[in-house]
Amino acid sequence: MYYSDDEWVKLISTLIVNPVLPRNFTVDPSLLKNPEFKKLYDYLMDMRSLSSALSRGDLQHFVYGKGFILSNLKALQSNLRHLTWQTKKVADGDFSQRVDFLGEFSDAFNEMTVKLHDLTMRLTQLANMDTLTKIPNRRALEAFLVDSFKNAVGNKKPFSIIIFDIDFFKSTNDTYGHDAGDAVLVQVSGRLNRQFRAHDIFSRYGGDEFMAVLPGTSLRAAEKIAERARASVEEAEIPLNANDSIKVTVSAGISERLENDIRYEDVIKKSDRALYVAKKTGRNRVCCG
């Protein structure tokens, strides 16, 4: 079959321009036997199918043709597929993902991941912090206990727990009011907190009780630390307002993980019993369990 120049232009134009190929569209089979035409025809059909898939958001449509326009479409497809993968990573909490291949969108995406990271850090910090004393709360304490106890058992390392309780806190509250009680909690926790190392945790355990977990620390060493902490509270004047201040004391119970302590709760129980003994034997003292 012979194609005039006009017919050639019409055929190629139809393949490139028409959004939908005409219902009766056919290509002369003899033409498809020409390798050069076949190559061009396949290229244009690949271009149509890939660009159409991309416009629909279908990123699973693969073509194997090569050449300038198809390669650009494939590069776009590849970028969008990588972006999809990155978005899934962000959804899983990996905020280190950055995009550098989609112009303004890259800036927006990168700003989003930075903000998500900052926000998540802030929320995590808030979720793990006691709002009054600004020290770790019970949630953070429990997470730390799980990890550090497991590590201590696995590596056969010492592991000690100290529980502090403010002596006569209820009467301080009753006598001076709740604001004064809060001031005492803040001041006492601040003084106690200063005695611990970065890899310990000192946290609010509940009410006027605080717990310190000391990985890698023996009972004797923990006792010295607890005694120093107790003394630091005893010597302090706690300001309640511009004119008034009071003195308070704390009691502490300590214990160390022994072979038969298979859960961290076992160590807490022993510290709790030691604290009870400290309270019963006069307060303002440190007892070991």
Partner 1 sequence: MRRYEFNWDLIGDIDLGRPNLGKEVDLELYRLMQFTLRDVIEQTYSTEEADRLFREAGKVAGKVFYEKYINPVSSVEEFVSKTQKVLKEKKLGILRVEEAMLEQGKILLTVDEDLDCSGLPELDYETCIYDEGFISSLFEGFTKSEWDAREIDCWCTGARTCRFQVTERAKA
For partner 1, the binding residues (CB under 8 A) are: 64, 66-68, 70-72, 74-75, 78-79, 81-82, 85, 89, 92, 94, 96, 101
Which is it for the CA torsion 163, 166, 167, 173, positive or negative? negative
Q: What is the closest distance, in whole angstroms, from the C-beta atom of residue 211 to partner 1 in the complex?
A: 31
Supply the angle between the helices 138-155 and 264-280 in degrees, to the nearest 10: 110
Instruction: Count the Cβ atoms, other than its own, within 10 Å of residue 286.
Output: 24
Angle at 193 between CA 188 and CA 198, to 5 degrees: 175
Say how far apart CA 74 and CA 54 lie, in whole Å. Answer: 10
Residue nearer to partner 1 on the CB measure, 90 or 112: 90
Q: Please report how close the Cβ of residue 1 comes to partner 1 at its closest, in angstroms.
A: 29
Q: Which is nearer to partner 1, 11 or 99 (CB)?
A: 99
Residue length of the chain: 289
- 157 phi, psi to nearest 5 deg: -105, 155
Cα(84)–Cα(120) distance, integer angstroms: 21
Q: In terms of CB distance, is 58 or 174 closer to partner 1?
A: 58
SS3 287: strand
- 79 vs 232, beta carbon nearer partner 1: 79
Instruction: Select 76 or 221, whichever has its Cβ closest to partner 1.
Output: 76
Beta carbon of residue 47, minimum distance to partner 1 (angstroms, whole number): 13
Burial status of residue 232 (CB atoms within 10 A of its CB: 0-12, 13-18, 19 or more): middle
Nearer to partner 1, 34 or 72 (CB): 72
Least gap, CB of 257 to partner 1 (angstroms): 27
Residue from 139, 146, 111 nearest 125 by CA = 139
* Beta carbon of residue 109, minimum distance to partner 1 (angstroms, whole number): 14
Q: To the nearest whole angstrom, how small is the minimum distance from the Cβ of residue 59 to partner 1? A: 9
